[in-house]
Structure 1
């Protein structure tokens, strides 16, 4: 949920390729390359954000600081702005 705003825009093609590989091969281990390509450039701040959400029962108001860091990284490195 923490990356949903960005994930849908940036990772759709890569995620679709991973899911197609996984479905066709019935073995996700054969699709590791597609999965690695989906990680992106902001993994550290993304991990901080989803961890905050996880520990706070998905209460976004408690994780605005990590959300801001993640959104800034996505904007800076991938030129993706968060939709409201």
Structure 2
């Protein structure tokens, strides 16, 4: 049972031991080959969210603005739960759409961002390919 829990945690974190590589005596884990799980639901890791940040900023702006206004007007966290759910729903829907429209490019970009700890400068080639297939609108 403990091994199952560890495997589940690894899946959530985007780590797949079967796809690790040796490099100068260190075992380096590569990102899983997909930004979604087996059921097609997005796995919102930091690499996935960072790679999709521009798209999220554009498509989910109304939901984010409504949430921020709510937080500004009322310090009680309970008052803004519905707005927070709207933001989450928008982001997860967007991630699912992006993965359906440009799966390979998104997975390549997310894998690069994961490998290089979200350093944009080291993943410009993958970013360009991703934004070419899934342009910002």
- TM-score (ref. length: structure 2): 0.37
Bigger share in strand:
2
Gaps of 5+ in 2: 1-49, 63-84
How many pairs were matched up? 63
Higher RCO (CA-CA < 8 Å; seq separation 6+): 1
1:2 and 2:62 matched: no
How many angstroms apart in 2 are the aligned matches of 1:5 and 1:18?
Answer: 16
Max Rg structure = 2
Query: Larger helix proportion, structure 1 or 2?
Result: 1
Per the TM alignment, residue 57 of structure 1 is displaced from its structure 2 partner at its CA by 1.4
Unaligned runs of 5+ in 1: 21-34
Quote the residue 1:39 is aligned against.
96
The alignment's TM-score, normalised by the length of structure 1, stands at 0.56
Tell me the C-alpha RMSD between the 2 structures.
3.1
